[in-house]
């Protein structure tokens, strides 16, 4: 079945450091890929997305490129801020058997990011 593997955390960085969170996936077919972020006590917020090979999703300084050859979708940010402290989830959406539904997201285990001033 489909699966997503994220680098283990937690990740602790100083403000303005470079961030990389690795994500690799296994899926049948051609999935769409997402990064979601969860702040304490809140639901998930969509951070960025990509739907085909070599697509680059970007938002709020975060970027990720859909690499089909390495089945990866690594999240990067050039200069993190304290406000980026949160849990980050990589996820994929692939069609169900029969292709009638894309409504199931398969998530990685999440990576806790803490940024210190």
Footprint of another protein on this chain (CB under 8 A)? Answer: 32, 34, 36, 41-46, 49, 51, 89, 93, 96, 100-110
CB of 11 vs another protein, minimal distance in Å: 17
Question: Is cis: bond before 10, omega within 30 of 0?
Answer: yes
Q: Which is nearer to another protein, 49 or 77 (CB)?
A: 49
CB of 82 vs another protein, minimal distance in Å: 23
Q: Which two tokens stand for residue 46?
A: 């969509």
CB of 54 vs another protein, minimal distance in Å: 15
∠ CA 4-10-15, rounded to 5°: 115
Q: Which is nearer to another protein, 70 or 100 (CB)?
A: 100
- Distance separating alpha carbons of residues 13 and 31, to the nearest angstrom: 31
- Distance separating alpha carbons of residues 76 and 52, to the nearest angstrom: 18
């Amino acid at each position: 079945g489909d699966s997503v593997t994220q680098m283990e955390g937690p990740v602790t960085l100083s403000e303005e450091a470079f961030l990389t969170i690795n994500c690799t996936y296994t899926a049948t077919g051609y999935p769409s890929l997402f990064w979601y972020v969860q702040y304490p006590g809140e639901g998930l917020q969509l951070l960025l997305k990509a739907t085909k090979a070599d697509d680059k999703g970007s938002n709020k300084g975060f970027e990720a490129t859909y690499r089909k050859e390495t089945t990866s979708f690594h999240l990067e940010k050039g200069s993190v801020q304290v406000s980026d402290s949160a849990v980050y989830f990589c996820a994929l959406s692939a069609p169900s058997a029969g292709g009638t539904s894309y409504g199931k997201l398969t998530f990685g285990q999440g990576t806790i990011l803490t940024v210190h001033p």
